[in-house]
Structure 1
Amino acid sequence: MHELKFRFWDEVNKRFWCGGQEGESIGKETFQTYFKDGALKAVMYQPVSYGFKDVDDYEERELKQSQYTGRKDKNGREMYEGDIVNNEDNETAVIVYDSGSFILQYPDSPLDFDSLFDFQDKELEIIGNIYENPELLEVENG
C-alpha cells in the first residue's frame, strides 16, 4: 500500500496547499484540513465579525483535492491525481482516479485509457496539471 497524501488547489491564490501547512495564512485567510462525514476536507477560512465581538463566525472556502498515486515520474516527482504527463511515445494524458484505480486518460480519445500501474516510473514525465496548465490538454482540430 502506498503512502496516503493529498494536495489541495486554491483557485483564488493559484497555489497548492499540502498536509502539514495547516495554520499558514495568506492575507486574512488561513489553510485548514478536517474530517467531515468521514471525508477529508480542506478549506481556507477567515474570521467574520457582525459587530458583536471581534470574531462572530468564520467563512470557509472549500479547496479541490488531489490524491497521491504512490508513484513518481522519471524525474523523481510525486504524481498526483490531476497531473498531466507525457509517456515515452510523447502522448499526453491526465491522471484520473476512477473506480478505485488511477488511470491515464487521453484528451484526444476520452474513451481510451490505461492503468497508471501499466507504466514504469521512468516511462512517464509530469509536464503540468489540470489547474495550472489546462491548455496542455487542448486537442487540436485539424
Structure 2
Amino acid sequence: MIALGTLAVLEHPGQLAELRAAEDPKPAAGAVEELLRYLHIVHSGRRRVAPEDIEVADRTIRAGEDIVLANDVGNRDGDVFPDPDQLDIHRDARKHVAFGIGPHQCLGQPLARVELQVVYGTLYRRIPTLRLAVDVDEVRFKHDGLIYGVYELPVAR
C-alpha cells in the first residue's frame, strides 16, 4: 500500500504538492483514507452468507445463500463517492470498505492507518524531489495473487 499510494500520489502532482507542504497531519490522514478507497489492495472479494432474505438491485438473495462482496467495486460506487475514479485527497472517504465492513473488519486497521499516515505525512517532505525513476508503464503490477500491488517501485531523488 505504501508503494501503490506513493505511485498514485506521484501521478497527481497537485495533490503531491499539498502533501509536501502540509505541516498539519490532517491532510495525510485524509489522503490515507482516500488512497485506501482509490487503490483497495484486496480484490478477491469477501465471501459471506446472507443471514436473511435481502433485496439487492431488484434481486432477492435468500437466507443461507453465498454472497461474494467485491470491495474494490464498492469503493468505486458513484452513489457513495462522487466521481469515484478520480483520486481526491480532500474527499471524505471514511465510508470505504478497504478493511471490510460490519463485524468482519480487519483488526489491524488502526495500525495500518497510523503507519500510512506517518509515511505519507513525512516521506514527501523529507524527500521533496522524490520522483519515479522509470516510466509508469515500466512499473510491474501484481495481479497474480490475493493482494494487488507492485513488485517494486523504482524512485529517484
Give TM class, smaller chain.
under 0.3
**Length-normalised TM-score, structure 1:** 0.24
TM-score, structure 2 as length reference: 0.22
Q: Which has the higher contact order (CA 8 A, sep 6+)?
A: 2
